[in-house]
Amino acid sequence: MAFTLRQLQFFVAAADSGSISAAARMLSISQSSVTEAIRALEVDLGVLLFERRARGLELTHKGGLFLRHASQILGDVSQARQSFQQETGNVPGRLSLGVSSLVAGYVLSDVLSRFRRGWPAIEISALEETGDYLQHLLIGGELDVAVLFTSSIRDRAALNVETLLVSPYRLWLPQGHRLASAEVIAPEDLVEEPFISLMVDEIEESTRRLMAGLSVRPRIAFRTRSVEAVRSLVATGAGLAILPGLVYRPWSLEGDRIEIRDVSGDLPSVQVGLAWRKGAPLSAPAHNFVRSAQLGFAARPAVP
């Protein structure tokens, strides 16, 4: 039996999030549905797509190859759907959009460019603010939709929330560091290391909880609100960092290499997605934006 688009969506979600449970939360379905879809896909393809580890899923070599095909298929389907929406895409309208700081830098451009291709006549006004203030504006009806860290949303009784991407925390270290030869690093190995702390959005609070939960308490050598500063400081050996894979890039602005590794234990993850007010129907532009973002995230490559 040929595989289905639904199976591909479940597979990509599991690859992005690194676990069945996170994929199920992202898709708002049961874990058994994700497990059954992946198992059926593996039977249909005749290959093992994931290695099942104690801490989650790890793509096999063939799984990584198939992920590129699956993402391409989902992207092609999305473009095909949008090609039939072009006639209505020229209908004018307005969209009031909110976005949190880190999401603005690493997610928003892809989401907006995809939406603008499908609905070029929609006038978009976007506001960058903290997650808490965006929630306030959504509840007050001053924003249609927000793209933000859904893991930090507090008032879920007043907001519809859809998580579209789960990004686990990873350890950042400079090339040639003494720990770089290990694939997974124990918390005890970090006791003598200085750390760089990023104070943006929910990252600071999540990192503080993470550090408090480790069996050793790493020393914070530098605090900054700049991701690029973290990159430069890590790459030049000033300290290590533990940050979501979403914001990882392998090079600093100066051209120095940055490595990432897993840390053993139960590290947190950040969830990125959409929020809009409950009890009020979405406008046509907002509804189309939500749908466009859903399809766009489904076609994104896996986060490191």
pLDDT digits (tens, 9 = 90+) for 49-64: 998 887 788 889 898 8
The 10s digit of each residue's pLDDT in 180-200 is 888 888 888 888 889 999 988
Q: How far is CA 86 from CA 93, 95, 113, 234, in A?
A: 14, 18, 15, 46
Q: Cβ distance 105 to 84 under 8 Å?
A: no
> Going by C-beta distance under 8 Å and a sequence separation of 6 or more, which residues neighbour residue 152?
131, 132, 201, 202, 205
Task: Answer for the pair 230, 200: CB distance below 8 angstroms, yes or no.
Answer: no
What would the pLDDT profile of 17-72 be if each residue is shown by its tens digit?
888 888 887 777 888 888 988 998 998 888 999 988 877 888 898 988 898 888 88
Q: Check residue 139 and report its DSSP letter.
A: H
Give strand pairing partners of 123.
94
Helices (H), ranges, 84-106: 86-89, 101-106
Residue 297's pLDDT is what?
79
Q: Distance between CA atoms of 97 and 119, rounded to whole angstroms?
A: 15
Q: What is the pTM of this model?
A: 0.66
- The SS3 of residue 99 is strand
